[in-house]
Amino acid sequence: MVYRPRYFNYIVSKLSALATEIELRGKLNFLDLHLHSENFYRSI
């Protein structure tokens, strides 16, 4: 159980980075990650 906060922080940081990248790419009209992320977040 010692590693649980570490894993949680890692997952949160990666999801935050993904959300930021999707937002920035959306502004540039690169929408390929939007489709993949919709499927990914739907399954969570």
Q: How far lies 14's CA from each of 21, 29, in Å?
A: 10, 22
pTM for the full predicted model: 0.69
Q: How confident is the model over 4-27, as pLDDT tens digits?
A: 999 999 999 999 998 899 899 888
The answer to whether residues 5 and 16 touch, using CB atoms and an 8 Å cutoff, is no
Residues 32-41 have a mean pLDDT of 82
